[in-house]
Amino acid sequence: MIIGYGRVSTGSQADEGLSPERQAVRLKANGCSEVLFDIESGKNPNRKNYQKLIKLIEQGTVTQVVCIRLDRLGRSSIELCSFYRLCVDKDCDLRILDQGLQLKSPFGKLLYTVLAALAELESDNISARVKDSWAYKREKGLAHRTSFGYKIVDGKFTINPKESAIVREIIDVILNPSSLSEALRYVVTKYPELKWSRTGLQKLVRNPTLRGHLRYKDPITEEDILIKDTHEAILTEGEYSRILSIFEANRWSKSNTRNRPLNVLSGKVVCGVCRKGMALCAGSKKSKYKETYWRNFKCRRSTEGICSNAKSIGYVKLVTSVEKEIQKHAFAIANQINIASVEDDSNQTRITQLRSQLDVLEAIPDSIEYIKESIHKIKQELAALELDSQIKIQTSVSRVEIVKGISHPTFFLSMSDLDKQILFNELLSSVSINLGAVDSIEFTF
């Protein structure tokens, strides 16, 4: 039996005359009764159909293997030599069309070894060129691969109108609020040509490119490197935080088939005695007429006799207490932030001094070199201080607006559990419980 084998690493190799269709036509034209094909790197010896070919040769059912080029078989000289020895042991001929190589001739055996080494060398050169290209683009802040929703123009991400509209629809569906599965059903129904999976959809939404950032891999640590605000964003940071909270809220419970109820104080409640995190316990109580569900926070160490804080507190009672405590402190917090925004700006004195020095130095005609250097340094320090002052003002103003909104009596009544969880994460550091009541609340500001 004569078997043909073909391979491409990526779809882009179709432009080089190596598309699967072209290889298959040539292989069948050269007497192959069956053609095996892989779309994978030649450095990986565990390719599915390559391993299938090896098994067929080991079984002795293959008389000849035909390839377009030797590097289609692989790009590791060790693996290609191992394949050569297998063919010799099993009396299987190997024919390489473009290089005119036939294994059974003496010259063919020599040429095979040389070509195997060259195939590996070419692969190493390709890898080196790719790494150099990525390093150059990383240094220049250029986009190195396309992302759904964008196109690359002159090395920069630019909005792709059609794809970005689809991404925006997906984001809006998830923010409804919804689940990832519901968003996937929406995409599959409306855009069946996309062929997305649940994992693929999650990777898309988590991609920092959508938030206007470039992402690279550190060549040494393999950690993500973000260059922020390099292009127009489709997804805001606020929307991204909300989506992550939705994903967390929709995680499947291990104990049953229903979604786990959202805990708006997740990770914030600690025992006032042992200072360990308290567990949220849930259950139900059946009566003659109805079934009542309950959720309580309880210190698990108390059940083991390690902690004396054995009394639990109801979930609803605790959330209500926290809401009241936040509203009680809202105006005081707002006043403190207003005072801080005026008094804390110690940069103003330094800015005034630097501006005076700058006026004097710039008034000197035909300044000598060290004076020019001083002027340059003062301008740099001024720019940094003024930017720092702007950031402080923006931060304090946004926080004042948030706290004043919280002080409104109906604020928490109209808020969903998901919104409460996001807000509590911003405002609360911890909530301490002792003897079934709130012992203390620590804020993040």
> Structure tokens of 89?
């042991």
Q: Is 401 found in the same domain as 289?
A: yes
Close Cβ partners of 38 (under 8 Å, ≥ 6 residues apart): 6, 7, 47, 48, 49, 50
Residue 115 falls inside a structural domain = yes
Q: Is 176 found in the same domain as 122?
A: no
Helix ranges (DSSP H) in 216-314? 237-249, 300-303
Residue with tokens 């989506």: 243
Q: Would you state the pLDDT for residue 284?
A: 66
Read off the pLDDT of residues 360-379 as tens digits, 9 standing for 90 and up.
Answer: 666 665 555 656 777 777 78
Last residue of some domain: 199, 227, 249? 249
Read off the pLDDT of residues 330-342 as tens digits, 9 standing for 90 and up.
Answer: 766 655 554 444 4
Q: Would you state the pLDDT for residue 86?
A: 85
Strand order from edge to edge, sheet including 428-434 = 269-271, 428-434, 437-443
Answer yes or no: is pLDDT of 397 > 50.
no
User: How far is 1 from 297, CA to CA, in rounded Å?
Assistant: 71
Q: Would you state the pLDDT for residue 259?
A: 47
> Structure tokens of 250?
């929709």
For residue 395, name the pLDDT band (cuts at 50, 70, 90): very low
Backbone angles phi, psi at 186, to 5 degrees: -65, -45
Last residue of some domain: 80, 113, 137? 137
Packing angle of the helix pair 315-343, 369-406 (nearest 10 deg): 150
Cβ–Cβ under 8 Å, residues 316 and 440: no
**Domain CATH for 120:** 3.40.50.1390
Cβ–Cβ under 8 Å, residues 224 and 217: yes
Read off the pLDDT of residues 72-128 as tens digits, 9 standing for 90 and up.
Answer: 888 776 677 778 778 888 888 888 888 776 666 665 665 666 656 665 666 566 666
- Provide the domain limits for residue 389: 261-445
Q: Which of 104-118, 158-172, 183-197, 413-427 is the most confident on average?
A: 158-172
Which residues on neighbouring strands pair with residue 281, listed in sequence order?
296
Measured between its terminal Cα atoms, the distance across the chain in Å is 77
User: How far is 377 from 320, CA to CA, in rounded Å?
Assistant: 55
For residue 189, name the pLDDT band (cuts at 50, 70, 90): confident
Last residue of some domain: 108, 137, 166? 137
Going by DSSP bridges, is the β-strand pair 2-8/34-39 parallel, antiparallel, or unpaired?
parallel
For residue 393, name the pLDDT band (cuts at 50, 70, 90): very low
Q: Is 173 found in the same domain as 28?
A: no
Q: Is 75 found in the same domain as 128?
A: yes
Q: Is 269 found in the same domain as 307?
A: yes
Q: Is 222 found in the same domain as 91?
A: no
> Structure tokens of 278?
């308290």
User: How far is 238 from 256, CA to CA, in rounded Å?
Assistant: 32
Which residues on neighbouring strands pair with residue 296, listed in sequence order?
281, 314
Residue 254 falls inside a structural domain = no
Backbone angles phi, psi at 240, to 5 degrees: -65, -45
Residue 388 falls inside a structural domain = yes
Q: What is the mean pLDDT of the chain?
A: 75
Distances from the Cα of 127 to the Cαs of 44, 105, 225, in angstroms? 14, 33, 21
Of all residues in the chain, what percent carry a pLDDT higher than 90? 7
For residue 53, name the pLDDT band (cuts at 50, 70, 90): very high
Q: Would you state the pLDDT for residue 405?
A: 66
Q: Is 439 found in the same domain as 313?
A: yes
> Structure tokens of 191?
């855009």
Cβ–Cβ under 8 Å, residues 172 and 129: no
Cis-peptide, bond into residue 261, ω within 30° of zero: no
Of all residues in the chain, what percent carry a pLDDT higher than 70? 66
Bigger pLDDT: 34 vs 198: 34
Bigger pLDDT: 129 vs 402: 129
Q: What is the mean pLDDT of residues 264-289?
A: 82
* Secondary structure (3-state) at 164: helix
> For 12-21, 141-150, 241-250, 407-416, which range has the lowest pLDDT when averaged over its residues?
12-21
For residue 413, name the pLDDT band (cuts at 50, 70, 90): confident
Answer yes or no: is pLDDT of 432 > 90.
yes
Backbone angles phi, psi at 34, to 5 degrees: -145, 145
* Secondary structure (3-state) at 115: helix
Residue 196 falls inside a structural domain = yes
Q: Is 218 found in the same domain as 316?
A: no
Cβ–Cβ under 8 Å, residues 318 and 290: no
Read off the pLDDT of residues 190-245 as tens digits, 9 standing for 90 and up.
Answer: 888 877 777 788 888 888 888 888 877 766 666 777 778 888 889 888 888 888 87
Backbone angles phi, psi at 72, to 5 degrees: -75, -30
Residue with tokens 């340094």: 377
Kindly report the pTM of this predicted structure.
0.37
For residue 252, name the pLDDT band (cuts at 50, 70, 90): very low
Q: Would you state the pLDDT for residue 331?
A: 65
* Secondary structure (3-state) at 424: helix
Q: Is 375 exposed, middle or buried (0-12, 13-18, 19+ CB in 10 A)?
A: middle
Q: Is 212 found in the same domain as 71?
A: no
User: How far is 169 from 265, CA to CA, in rounded Å?
Assistant: 30
Distances from the Cα of 440 to the Cαs of 319, 403, 433, in angstroms? 13, 19, 7
User: How far is 26 from 8, CA to CA, in rounded Å?
Assistant: 15
Q: What is the CA radius of gyration of the chain?
A: 33
Residue 256 falls inside a structural domain = no
Answer yes or no: is pLDDT of 298 > 80.
yes
Q: Would you state the pLDDT for residue 338?
A: 45
Q: Is 40 found in the same domain as 167?
A: no
Question: In 79-187, which ranges are E strands?
Answer: 93-96, 101-102, 150-153, 156-159
Backbone angles phi, psi at 69, to 5 degrees: -135, 155
Q: Is 388 found in the same domain as 270?
A: yes
Q: Which of 30-44, 288-302, 361-375 is the most confident on average?
A: 30-44
Which residues on neighbouring strands pair with residue 322, listed in sequence order?
none
Q: Would you state the pLDDT for residue 399?
A: 52
Q: What is the mean pLDDT of residues 284-313?
A: 77
Count of domains forming the chain: 3
Answer yes or no: is pLDDT of 433 > 60.
yes
